[in-house]
Amino acid sequence: MFGDMFEEEEDSGFVCENKVGNGGKSRKKDTEPPAHRAACNLSGIKNQGGTCYLNSLLQTLLYTPEFRESLFALGPEELGDLSEKDKPESKVRVIPLELQRLFAQLLLADQLAASTSDLTDSFGWTSNEETSQHDVQELNRILFSALESSLVGTSGHDLINRLYHGIVVNKIFCKECSNISERQEDFLDLTVAVKDVSGLEESLYALYVEEEHFDNDNLYQCGRCEKLVKATKSAKIRHLPTFLTISLLRFNFDFAKCERYKETGCYSFPVRLDMRPFCEQDNLAGTEYELFSVIIHKGGCYGGHYHAYIKDIDQLGTWFSLDEEKTVINSTKDPTKEANLLELGDPLEILRAILVQIGPDGILVDQLGQKLLEKVGVAWNKRYRKQCGSIRKFLERHPDVFLLKADGTRVALKQTDHGYLGQQLHKSKVKKAQTGNSTASGEHGDDTEGMQSITPTSEVHWFDFDDSQVRPIHEKDIEKQFQGKECAYMLFYRKSQLQRPLQARGNSRYKVPANLLEEIASLDASLQKQRAEFDSAANNIEIHLHLGPKYKFENGALQPVSSQKDSVLTITIDRRKTVGDLMQTIFQQLEFWKGDMVITVAKQLPAGLHLYETLKEDHISLHSLGITDGAILFVWNGNKVCGVKVQTGEEFEPLLLKILYPRMRRKSETEIIQFNETQKVFTRNTLLSSVREAVALSTGISPEELTLCYRKLENQMSSNWIVFDNEDVHKTLAELRLKDGDSMLATDQKYYDLSVPCPNDTLVNVAPQTDRSWLQIKDYCGEGLSQSARAVVTIPVTMEMLVSEIKTNAVEKLKLRSEKENETCLRPIDRVGKLLPPVYENLTVKDAGFKTGSTLALFPGCTPTDTQLFLYFAIGDRLHLSPEMEIVIEQSISVRECLKLMLEKAGLSGECWHLRKTDWCCDAGEVLKDEEATLADMKITNGEALVIMEGRLPPKGFLMLPVWFYHSALNSVNTGSFQEKQKSIEDGLCSLSILSTARDFSLQQYMDTDLEFMGNIEISGDASLEDLKTQVLTLPLLQGLPVPSVKFLRVWLLENKCPAKILRNQQQQLSKFKLGSSAEIGIQLLQAEEHLASTELLLRLRMAVPGERTYYPVEEIVWDISKESTARSLRQRISQHYSLAPEHIEIAKQFTDQFEWMPITTWSQQVSKKKKKKKLQSLQGAPYYLKDGDVIGVKNLLIDNNKDFSTVTDDIGKEKLRLEGSNKNKRQQATAHQSGESTENSERQVVRGRTRRPEVALSISVADFR
């Protein structure tokens, strides 16, 4: 497998290679071989990404001995040979053959977990099925079907039916003629309800004991009587299978929320079950069952995890408990002590106990601390770190006990240590009999004395099979799966009368075919070879030796004299070798070396090579000292390098710092400031005062005027430089937490107020003192200047400084005329460059909420006083689509006066205007109705945005209603003439400036909704519905409409330009309808008078055209809901309309905004005689919410069997909605990116908006063997 990569001499222990090393990993470790079986001696199954449901079912079938042995009984002469499966026209039954191989590996192979990849390949599954989770109940049926198809024509053709087949008989008894109608059903598993049921016996009682009665309005059509009669229906089990599989209906649908959910309530089930009460025959034999497997689901209805509790019937595994492990480990430490392991407090023994339970595969080092916390209840850092160091260091100091794998990220017990503990553990348990009748040898008898419990050989135990992990559990643990998010999902029972032969007990090889035994033996030999090779490879590490004579000490670090290739020697050595072995090896390689040799751990830093600890103990192994693959060691005399004494240790570690300092440069007779950059190396223990002296010397700035600053990154575009405190002068660079690559600014006092770019184009803001802050002021007083050309000054401020003082300083620094001070104001600038409202000048910096580095605009205009408001306003219904204007007004003026001032500023006149607030989308929102109220009374705040809308507000108590004409009944000819008349009237009104041109309501815009805008009416809230109809007919566009009386008009209340509710009762006052300020109405012309009652619904029916995805024209019906509004009542009403039988039609409601159809079904729920009859579902509630004007699709099943109600228009609409949603997500992501939101927030938005993957049907491909 590994070739000659690790070939080595037996006594040398290393391989020398002359190649360059840089301290990183020199090569990649090979893949770790599969781990040994766990301590329980049972094998798990690897999860391929989403196959936990498959693993749980396969383990259940494996530990169904009768199924396993029946499968093993099928030989190659019947199933074929896998080597011939790819040959054309071969009849190899791949699925049962792969299932045999998998079962043999799980029983016999020495590996922690087996792979199902070969089996799923035989299913025809791709990576999509392997990484997508499916329902285990669905898999159970599909897998049995695939096995039945695969075993056709073999002796195992009846395998599934023989073990799992049962029969249920349904009977209906006619109370008139006593005729009994029977219908027999076959089953492989029983499905029982969980909702509102306490346990399995109650579910079976409701299904197979209670009777359903047909009476009153729910009669039975008797075939003998040929009429509807009273009857009773019952169900009984006629034949019981050998293995009873029960599926629990944990997942339901919430019609109110329109979503699936999981039933997590308590649902109990017995370990021993008697099915006699549910059978047809009272004297039926073999009705007692025992539970042997429980498949458990953890999670919700859209995802989760499966695992299984399985009874080890043949006693193939080694059962033990954690308490037993602790007792064994305590006895190995000191048998005379009775203290508990946790009370002893020995971290070595505690970690050893935890790793014994985990098994030879080990655990991540980072997760070992969590395991310790779970077992002991105290974290490692709190209890052991002070005396033992970090947990990783502790493990490395005990290489004789712990084995660090995968570059030190995983840890396991060494095989010798684990074997010893395993022997101690097994001495406290039953020694398993491989032949079924062997007994434990007498030499172990004394070792088990004093144990608290001994497992008898006849006792059968339970195990938890969770993918690769298998752990022992108690039978009482099953009760924990009665309820909760982690609960039982499938139950498997076997007949109690089934007995296993003695030869099968504890014998994993029982009835396994010889060809599979040979295959497993070959597999074990291969695994053993891989583990041996990996163990050797895992301990070989590469070390890069940097030779002292080839180096010089320069600029605070070690640098190679010539090239790095000549100064580095790379060797490969076993990490279990000692320091003395390493030194001897180096002497053999370096023949030129003379004198003492010292080996020191080194590290490559930006400044160069630096030395740390020296390896002094010759007898300690390299692994114990923390020498890992790719380590750098420096070989020298321990004192000097090229005659220069070298300081070692972390405190002398060199730091490479970047120093920025300003320089004046002349350009075109103008002096400008330019920042230069230089690099300096200092040790970590250097004082800041020493750094200051060195910087002053290199930059030419006098020490008295030199100021050092460190950079604090505010965001990606700017940095804030903070001056070091006076106390920092006596601190070292390590205490100041400076690291390699950090920058320092060296500046003179005269450069305090600078804001200039660095060489890397980031903005540098220099603040003079740490107890002071600063603000940037940008000049907006100049006209015709671009953003980049505007002057910017930096103003030092304190938190108590007034805004008026800041403005005065800014005017002076910008060299503006003094009179400008009274004609300007300061306005903050947000991150997108928008000017915010002016700041009151009597506020302090703290009260105004300014942060250091904020940018303000010095803007023309007076600052508002405390009694004034600064407002934004625009003309039109959308603020972001209209030019935005600004105004300063008094809070005490009325809404009417405010509107007048805004109109004057906008250059508009007239009385047909009103004011509205804006909503969060910057669209027109709440109307300011009370025009006599002050702005303060209307709670208008500083900086708020208002919208001026066209249209005069109605007087108090009046309604302003937009009127639309709903012309669904018009044909194409009438529609054309109506258009011509409308256009002529509109042209006349536009010439008289009566019709507003600010709002465009064209016929094409609302063709899909069949609505035409007619105009607005103003009417009192005390007026009646009849008055409203009369006033509507006075609109110019409706004056010529032929209407005999107002009773021929139907008034709709519109929602989103769609008819939603019919206004009833001609004499009802409009105020009773609770019409809001944004209400709109639609008028429909009828062919006859209409008098709808409050208990009647108007529905629109659309009969489907047979064989086509289209419908006939709409028809209207009135449905009386005074008695009930159920699906059955609606079906009867529609069947009367079309003169069809109710069972010959299918109906569905259309959701026009979603382009969806929801079938309306008549369903009933079987209830106990002890319970009250369930109230029938109302269609006016969830999920249909039926109301006036809803469209109901109708299918005539006599001539149309297609129950799909959707049309081509629906398909186009769904695609349009999908594209709109996709574009909206893209716009949101683009907006978030432009606004500079953090990556973390963006990721959260993506997670919230992520849609669930569509559920894909599960299938298994099987060839035809008939």
CA distances (Å), origin 748, targets 445, 696, 736:
88, 10, 22
Please give the Cα distance from 646 to 464 (Å, whole number).
60
Cα(628)–Cα(647) distance, rounded to whole angstroms?
Answer: 24
DSSP states along 225-283: TTEEE-EEEEEEEEE--SEEEEEEE-EEEETTTTEEEE--S--B--SEEE-GGGBS-TT
Query: Tokens standing for 126?
Result: 């791709």
- Would you call 305 a catalytic residue per the annotation? yes
In 275-351, DSSP assigns E strands to 288-300, 303-311
Side chain identity, residue 695 = V
Return d(Cα 1083, Cα 1086) in angstroms, integer: 10
SS3 376: helix
Is 922 annotated in the active site? no
Q: Tokens 């579910």 correspond to what residue? A: 203
Measured in whole angstroms, the distance separating CA 142 from the mean position of its chain's CA atoms is 30
Q: Which two tokens stand for residue 1134?
A: 């529609």
Find, among 740, 662, 647, 723, the residue nearest to 688 by Cα: 723
| Nearest C-alpha neighbor of 327 from the set 403, 476, 427 | 427
Angle, CA of 1055, 1061 and 1065, to the nearest 5°: 140
CB 653 within 8 A of CB 601: no
| Amino acid letter, 1128 | R
C-alpha 1170: how far from chain center: 44
Catalytic residue among 305, 398, 967, 1137: 305
Report the 10 Å Cβ neighbour count for 25: 14
How far apart are the C-alpha atoms of 597 and 593, rounded to whole Å? Answer: 8
d(CA 848, CA 856): 12
Task: Give me the amino acid identity at 170.
Answer: N
Total Cβ atoms within 10 A of residue 782: 13
- State in Å, rounded, how far the first CA of the chain is from the last one: 43
Candidates 1195, 1192, 1110, 1207; CA nearest to 1155 is 1207
Q: Are 93 and 79 in contact (CB under 8 A)?
A: yes
* SS3 annotation, 1121-1136: CCCCCCHHHHHHHHHH
What is the rounded CA–CA span in Å between residue 650 and residue 664?
40
Q: Half-sphere exposure of 67 toward its Cβ, with a 13 Å CA cutoff?
A: 21
415-427 and 347-358 helices cross at what angle (nearest 10)? 80
Cβ count within 10 A of residue 452: 9
The β-bridge relationship of strands 1115-1120 and 1049-1055 is unpaired
Do the Cβ atoms of 748 and 660 come closer than 8 Å? no
Query: Taking CA 949 as the corner, what is the angle to CA 945 and CA 951, rounded to the nearest 5 degrees?
Result: 155
Residue written as token pair 């080694």: 318
Pairing of strands 763-766, 718-723: parallel
> Dihedrals φ, ψ of 444, to 5°?
-95, 0
Kindly give, in sequence order, each residue whose CB lies less than 8 Å from that of residue 132, ignoring residues fewer than 6 positions away: 50, 1253, 1256
> At what angle are helices 322-333 and 347-358 packed, to 10 degrees?
140
Is 1104 within 8 Å of 1138 (Cβ atoms)?
Answer: no
Q: How many residues does the chain have?
A: 1266
Q: Which of 52, 174, 781, 825 is catalytic?
A: 52
> Which residues are part of the catalytic machinery?
52, 305
